[in-house]
Structure 1
Amino acid sequence: MIRVVVVDDHPVVRDGLRGMLGTQDDFEVVGEAASGTEALTVIAAVRPDVAVTDLRLPAPSGAELVRLIRSRAPSTRVLVLTTHDTDADVLSTIEAGATGYLLKDAPREELFRAVRAAARDETVLSPSVAARLVQRVRTPVSAAPLSNREREVLTLVAQGKTNREVGAVLHISEATVKTHLQHVYAKLEVPDRASAVSAAHQRGLL
């Protein structure tokens, strides 16, 4: 029997996952949590074989949560089930110790296979995530492609918007905009906004 804890901040999603997993004779959902803090408490108490968790949760979340689960409950494997598949999300969570990474639009049979694989400590990735990892391995760091969010930020910068205005449009903080721009500068090997916009146009990124 594979003992599973479901972690998601949406009750409907947790109910849906519990219902789906409950259709399989070899799964037992032994707990659920709506936040990172609650997840750590539940996992420490029931010691499941697999934690199926979203990335975006009340803190701790994402790679930090994966790292904490792996350090505090080494026998529990972490299967990420999320709608987010950016390079940063994928790489950081796998580096933190996630055993698998699936998107929420995956067919239920794929989810079942992933939970079983995770319980065996076998890595399982959705096709799009696997493709991203292969591309990242094959691409030199200096030529790493821009993420969707970095592209959005740079597009707005190219329109002449300030960091504050970009943040307002994308509903992110000004500090986050600056961080995205720093990543853009590093990837395009340029020193500033104007150079980034110019380089992006030359490379057909905008």
Structure 2
Amino acid sequence: MPPAAEPAATRAATPSGEPGAAPPFADWNDAVARAVAALGTPGFPAAMEAALQRLVSHQMMNGFHYAPDGRAFDLHNDRLGADRRIIVDQYLAGTYVLDPFYDASRRPDGPSFIVMRQLAPDDFEQSEYFRLHYAATRIVDEVGFRLTLDAGHVGILSLCRIGDALQFSPGELARLEAAAGLVRALGERHWRGLPTAAADGAKAGAPRRIEHPALTNRELEVVTLILKGHSTQSIAAVLSLSPDTVKVHRRRIYAKLRISSQGELFRTFLTDPLISAGPR
């Protein structure tokens, strides 16, 4: 979500019960030791989540990994229950191409610690992706650790606050960022070899892309940025165009596709109930 000023009253309490306070070092140290001992076993994700829970409270840890060709795979989504259809199935079926975390995973110089509200485009909350997918997950704040895996895959392990929970405070974000090196090292060690298994036996289909035979490459760039939640001014800055030129492109796109709204644009490329690839 776009960054916003955060008053002191919105800061969430940490496990110690004091806003912004770090957990006792012995507790954190013991929890990390249990995560290290669980490396390579099915118990590692839960042990890693328990350690991070000692550092900063959250309601969900989950993750995905992305292949160099643009496909997305399940990294860790074991305890989502009824939300799995939206958080995992719909995401892997295609909405991932609009996810700011997916964009961050494809940058060679991507940061090791990612904060959604600092990364998201300026009109993210007005986008159809946010309205139809992200808001449906009930995630109110999200951060991610970027994992460099085998075979050119990149994983994003996320911590989320959900529902009525408050956003992560600046102090909590600072603690998580300070722990990013450790989280990455353990996560990369544990999930080593997963990309090879994914390539051999995963159900993921062809990479999802924003494509249409009636549109030029420039028009497809504009479509992609619109769908991701960029305003006219932001699109102009990203593509080094004037805002008026962006508006001309948008009118031409809508005319070619015979549509009149962003909702129709979303449905043209990404359709419900399970998001599918756009026209080839």
TM-score (norm 2): 0.23
The structure whose residues are more often helix, as a share, is 1
TM-score (norm 1): 0.29
